[in-house]
Amino acid sequence: MDVFKVSGNGPLNGQIDVGGAKNAALPILAATLLSDETVTLRNVPDLSDMRFMLEILRHIGAETVQPEPGVWKITSKKITHIAPYDLVRKMRASVCLLGPLVARMRKAEVSIPGGCVIGPRPIDLHIKGLKKLNCQVEISNGYVHVDASEIQGGPIFLGGRSGSTVTGTANIVMAATLAPGTTRLECAACEPEVVDLCNMLVKMGAKITGIGSPELVITGVEKLHGCEHSVIADRIEAGTFVIAGAITRGDVTVKGIAPKLLGAFLDKLEEAGLPMELGEDYIRVLPYQGSLKTVDVVTLPHPGYPTDLQAQLGALMTQTEGLSIITERIYPNRFMHVPELQRMGADISIEGPSAIIKGASKLSGAPVMASDLRASAALILAAFAAEGDTWIQRIYHLDRGYERFEQKLAAIGAKIERLSDKDMPKELLED
Ligand code: EPZ
């Protein structure tokens, strides 16, 4: 199994490019099932999650062709309505198949995604939305069974206990594109990835207004056609690289991202006093002396502070003089990285949904375990600020969402190597 060996190596310097967004590409790949014509997608990141989704699409009957890296041509002439457990269990986001199958096939049988370390991830809102579209929905044998023979557009309020749902919104929008009548979707998610999906659906002939707002109006059409679409940049990957520059006091230009996609995040870094230069499609982190200022953060749906950049900011705050409080409102247990940061010497305590971080801590390299995608990124960022070597195991979590992570960072001076766990000192290996 692969591991990362990371050593603190002083300031990072240079330009680092951002790839396509995982959380846009996943529902967009699923949306290709809505038409029997070819959809050409560009800027699709090369990630294990993408490979899982493409495998499921092929299993369902889609033809997938990759003419060049990052480009996929997908044609779904004849498809089945079943997404089996043995494929769906590999990746939660395959729940995004529900909407397109319901719309195109008027029925669906999709395995319910399993548990997740970052916290409970129910799909009750997805089901509520489908029922509001006059679908018969039954849960049995671990599957969601949907009969959409009488599907009909209508008013839906899709808000839950922590506000809007990203893939829930994606599913209901996709289901409504081919449903007779008009669907008025309130408390819709406004994440840039949902906007990107809606923009592609419009290119396929869907009728959607209010894109980017909490109220989407979808007027059903008879049929959708093929299109060409380029996936938006990955704002979470970009934010992770910004923190890499900040935690090493480097001069790093994160290229290929519009700063406006990261409003709340950049606002917090500005509040912390991080010197930055913002351009049309780049964010430049500039060197600074001394300590940044601590900030308090509460994660919220977009345009609030993104939960997927919570752990990374936590790593930075361990290096900041003073007390910061990070409150997780989306996934209250999303602090799996904290015990590992504590093993590196960070002073963090968890009080309910909040991490209380006392800084600045002198971090030292240690063997640590990645538990989920963003937690693993935070451990690597902390390792850049630590004395000595940090060995990070279970990095398959990171490969799900970061393309060529270590190559990109090594190119701007990071000391990070992908090795086999056989190269690790035996006493450090997990049993
Ligand atoms: C998406 O997950 C992202 N994944 C997540 O990114 C991200 O953390 C999350 O949105 C929030 O921004 C993809 O887009 C593939 P939600 P999703 O439905 O859609 C509750 C990463 O690191 N909820 O918006 O599954 C839920 O429990 C991943 O890239 C219900 O209660 O998240 C959570 O507390 C991790 N019932 C909140 O809403 C529902 O039916 C937001 O979840 C659905 C959700």
Band of residue 118 on the pLDDT scale cut at 50, 70, 90: confident
How close is the Cα of 186 to the center of ligand 1, in Å?
Answer: 17
How close is the Cα of 122 to the center of ligand 1, in Å?
Answer: 9
Ligand 1 pocket: which of 88, 164, 166 to mutate (most atoms within 8 A of CB): 166
HEC readout, 22-54: HHHHHHHHHHHHHCCCCEEEECCCCCHHHHHHH
- Within 6 Å (CB) of ligand 1, which residues are found? 22-23, 26, 93, 120-126, 160-162, 165-168, 307-308, 330-331, 373-374, 401
CA angle 229, 235, 238 (to 5 degrees): 120
Taking only the tens place, the pLDDT of each residue in 178-196 is 999 999 999 999 999 999 9
- Nearest atom of ligand 1 to the alpha carbon of 127: 40
- Nearest atom of ligand 1 to the alpha carbon of 301: 12
- φ, ψ (nearest 5 deg) of residue 278: -110, 130
Asked if residue 37 has pLDDT above 90, the reply is yes
**DSSP secondary structure, 52-106, as one string:** HHHHHHHHHT-EEEEEETTEEEEE-SS--SEE-HHHHTT-GGGGGGHHHHHHHHS
Percent of residues in the chain assigned helix, strand, coil, to nearest 5: 35, 25, 40
Asked if residue 286 has pLDDT above 90, the reply is yes
How do beta strands 322-327 and 282-285 pair?
unpaired
Task: Say which range, 110-119, 330-339, 362-371, has the weakest mean pLDDT.
Answer: 110-119
Give the torsion through C-alpha atoms of 187, 191, 192, 194, to 10 deg.
Answer: -60
Taking only the tens place, the pLDDT of each residue in 348-398 is 999 999 999 999 999 999 999 999 999 999 999 999 999 999 999 999 999
Nearest-angstrom CA–CA distance, 194 and 199: 9
How close is the Cα of 159 to the center of ligand 1, in Å?
Answer: 12
Residues, the chain? 431
Band of residue 96 on the pLDDT scale cut at 50, 70, 90: very high
Band of residue 430 on the pLDDT scale cut at 50, 70, 90: low
Taking only the tens place, the pLDDT of each residue in 239-272 is 999 999 999 999 999 999 999 999 999 999 999 9
Asked if residue 65 has pLDDT above 70, the reply is yes
- 207-211: average pLDDT: 98
Nearest-angstrom CA–CA distance, 199 and 197: 5
> 24, 196 in Cβ contact below 8 A?
yes
pLDDT at residue 333, rounded to an integer? 87
> 218, 207 in Cβ contact below 8 A?
yes
116 flagged as catalytic: yes
Asked if residue 19 has pLDDT above 70, the reply is yes
How close is the Cα of 308 to the center of ligand 1, in Å?
Answer: 10
| Burial class of residue 349 in the structure, from the number of CB atoms within 10 Å of its CB (0-12 exposed, 13-18 middle, 19+ buried) | exposed
Ligand 1 pocket: which of 98, 330, 336, 374 to mutate (most atoms within 8 A of CB): 330
Which residue out of 116, 187, 190, 227 is catalytically annotated? 116
Residue among 371, 377, 328 at smallest CA distance from 353: 328
User: Residue 125's CB: how many other CB atoms inside 10 A?
Assistant: 22
- Nearest atom of ligand 1 to the alpha carbon of 331: 34
**DSSP secondary structure, 263-275, as one string:** HHHHHHHHHTT--
Give the percent of the chain with pLDDT over 70. 100
Nearest-angstrom CA–CA distance, 401 and 283: 20
Share the mean pLDDT of the chain: 96
Nearest-angstrom CA–CA distance, 134 and 171: 15
Asked if residue 226 has pLDDT above 70, the reply is yes
Band of residue 411 on the pLDDT scale cut at 50, 70, 90: very high
Asked if residue 119 has pLDDT above 90, the reply is no
> 97, 108 in Cβ contact below 8 A?
yes
Taking only the tens place, the pLDDT of each residue in 139-164 is 999 999 999 999 999 999 999 999 99
pLDDT at residue 431, rounded to an integer? 60
Asked if residue 121 has pLDDT above 90, the reply is no
- 197-203: average pLDDT: 98
Which helix or strand (DSSP H or E) is residue 148 part of? Answer: none
Q: Which residues of 78-102 are buried (b: 16+ CB within 10 A; e: fewer)?
A: ebebbbbeebbebbbbbbbbbbbbb
pLDDT at residue 82, rounded to an integer? 96
Q: Is 268 annotated as a binding residue?
A: no
User: Residue 430's CB: how many other CB atoms inside 10 A?
Assistant: 11
